[in-house]
Amino acid sequence: MKVGELFDVKGHVAFVTGAASGLGLAYAEVMAENGAKTVLADVDTGALEKEVTRLEAAGCDVEGATVDVTDADQLRAALDGAAARHGRLDAVFANAGMSSGPGFSLSPTGGIENIDSDVYRRVIDLNLTSVLRTVQFSARHMKRQRSGSIVVTGSIAGIHAESYVGYPYIATKAAVHNLVRQAATELAPFNVRINAIAPGPFLTNIRGGVMRKDPEVAKHVAETVPMGRIAKTDEIKGLALLLASPAGSFITGAVIPIDGGTTA
């Protein structure tokens, strides 16, 4: 099989949460630019419309859906609607998430005794509960069609300690990794695959884009990476396409770091 066939997603239907910026936008771009009908879902309507317009102008088959993924009814309606309009769901990226503030190595507020209960609940709701629901609502369609790939955005902070990120964040990312493993064993007999991408530091808008705006924070984080730098969002596209395409047909239940060697 030729490379073009292995990674062929032309005509596939993709759905990406948190798609208006950062890693979610990178996932949406690589799917749309390679011929998939791609639904970009995000709570930020303005940013969403801007990116959908840009991708449409580039000849991509895309549409936007304003969705608060922490609202189960909204999320279910968006996924069911995409499946109804296009007849199937081939790739769903459960990506929407948030930071829980700096970790203890960056600020005293990141210490375990200073965990804010309200922040903790918001992070759990977005980073864990909404991911579980995205998997749940997607699986219903994929089991019926007996095919599909779900890709969850985890983190290397869910694999080992990361002192520059907050406790609620690391707890949720560790949890979604095990959610992926559990769901993979259930869904495998239906030819539905689910994997987690575990990024190291990337230049995104998380925590207000602090690594792009604050050179000292960026320097501190880059020093933890063997490759000595923070990744650009485009660098996640190859792994995302692998997991969503026929090239990843025997990969399921995996948590795959993409981190410049940090977890090595």
Q: Which of 183, 171, 187, 192 shows the shortest CA–CA distance to 243?
A: 192
Q: What is the pLDDT of residue 211?
A: 63
Q: 231: which 2 tokens?
A: 């990744």
Asked about 169 being catalytic, the answer comes back as: yes
> Taking the domain 3-258, which CATH number applies?
3.40.50.720
Q: What is the pLDDT of residue 55?
A: 98
Cβ neighbours for 64, distance < 8 A, ≥ 6 positions apart? 39, 40, 41, 42, 45, 48, 49, 51, 52
Q: What is the pLDDT of residue 210?
A: 62
Q: What is the pLDDT of residue 180?
A: 98
Q: Evaluate whether 119 touches 101 at the Cβ level (below 8 Å).
A: yes
Q: What is the pLDDT of residue 204?
A: 82
The pTM of the full predicted model, rounded to 2 decimals, is: 0.95
Bridge partner residues of 165 (DSSP)? 102
Q: Give CA–CA dist 84/205, Å, rounded.
A: 32
Q: What is the pLDDT of residue 160?
A: 95
Q: Give CA–CA dist 178/116, Å, rounded.
A: 25
pLDDT beneath 70: ranges in the chain: 205-213
Given the residues 27, 164, 167, 169, select the one marked as catalytic: 169
Domain ranges within the chain, ordered by starting residue: 3-258
**Tens of pLDDT along 13-32?**
999 999 999 999 999 999 99
Q: What is the pLDDT of residue 206?
A: 63
